Amino acid sequence: MIVAERKPIEEIMEFIRDCRKIMIVGCNECVTVCYAGGKKEVEILASALSMAFKKEGKEIEIKEVTLERQCDHEYLEEIRGIIDEYDAVISLACGVGVQFLAEKYLQIPVFPGVNTLFMGVTEDRGVWSERCQGCGQCILGQTAGICPISRCAKRLLNGPCGGSTKGKCEINAELDCAWQLIIDRLKELGRLDDYDELMPIKDWSTERAGGPRKIVREDLQQ
C-alpha cells in the first residue's frame, strides 16, 4: 500500500488562509489503512482547522467528504455537484489522488493534506515499512523476493557493502542488511548459487525518459 502521514497543521493552514469555505476530501484506501486520510482523519483535521482559525478570530466553513478512491474518475464524480461551492479543497489522499483530483476540477485549488512517503507493509499496529519504490525493473525473482532497491540504504545490486556488521546496516544499526536477508533466504530456498550471478546496473535513464510512465491494456479498453 501507499503510506503517508498528515502534514503539520500550520502548513495546511497557510494553504487556505485566504479561504472562507473549504472541502476536506478523504480517501478510503491506502491512507485509511495507515491512519492518515480516512473518514476519521478528515473529521480530526476539520476540527483542528476550525479551532485553530477560531483562535485567530476567523470563522471557516468546512465540508467533510470521504471517497472510496481519489485515483478513479468514477469516485471523483461524486463531488461534481458540490465542489464549485468551495474556495479550495484539501485532499488527504496520496500524491496520486491529489493530482488526479486537481486534473478533474481545474477551477478549484487542490492542496495536499498529507506527505506521501513510500509503498510499504504493515509490520505491526502503527508501524509501516517500505518495501517497493516502483522502479519498473523488478528484480525480486533474482533476489529471493527481497528488494535491495528499497531495503538497502545504498541500493546495491550485487551484495552487501563493506560496512555491514553482523547482519546490520552501517548507516543504521537497527536496520537489517538487505543483502544479508537476501543471502539467508537464498540459502533457505537452496538457491545460493544465484548469488554468484552478477546483475547489470539498472538503466534509470530509460525508465524515466519521456515523462510519466503509462500502461495501456488494449484488451480492457472498450
171: left (phi over 0), alpha (psi -120 to 50) or beta: alpha
pLDDT in tens, 43-90: 999 999 999 999 999 999 999 999 999 999 999 999 999 999 999 999
pLDDT in tens, 130-159: 999 998 889 999 999 999 999 999 999 999
Is residue 181 within 8 A of residue 150, CB to CB? The reply is no
Share of the chain above pLDDT 70, in %: 98
DSSP string, 92-119: -S-HHHHHHHHHH-TTS-EEESEEEEEE
What the block records as the C-alpha cell of 43 is 473529521
* Burial degree of 59 (CB within 10 A; 0-12, 13-18, 19+): exposed
Is the four-CA dihedral 184, 188, 190, 191 of positive or negative sign? negative
Is residue 73 within 8 A of residue 104, CB to CB? The reply is yes
- Longest Cα–Cα distance of the chain, Å, equals 69
Is residue 12 within 8 A of residue 49, CB to CB? The reply is yes
Q: Alpha-carbon distance 8 to 115, whole Å?
A: 10
Domain with CATH 3.40.50.2300 in the chain: 2-118
**CATH 3.40.50.2300 for domain 2-118:** yes
Secondary structure class of 120 (helix, strand, coil): strand
pLDDT at 216: 83
Cα-Cα end-to-end distance for the chain: 29
pTM over 0.75: yes
Q: Alpha-carbon distance 25 to 70, whole Å?
A: 9
Question: Would you say residue 173 has pLDDT above 80?
Answer: yes
Confidence of residue 204 (pLDDT cuts 50, 70, 90): confident
Question: Would you say residue 219 has pLDDT above 70?
Answer: yes
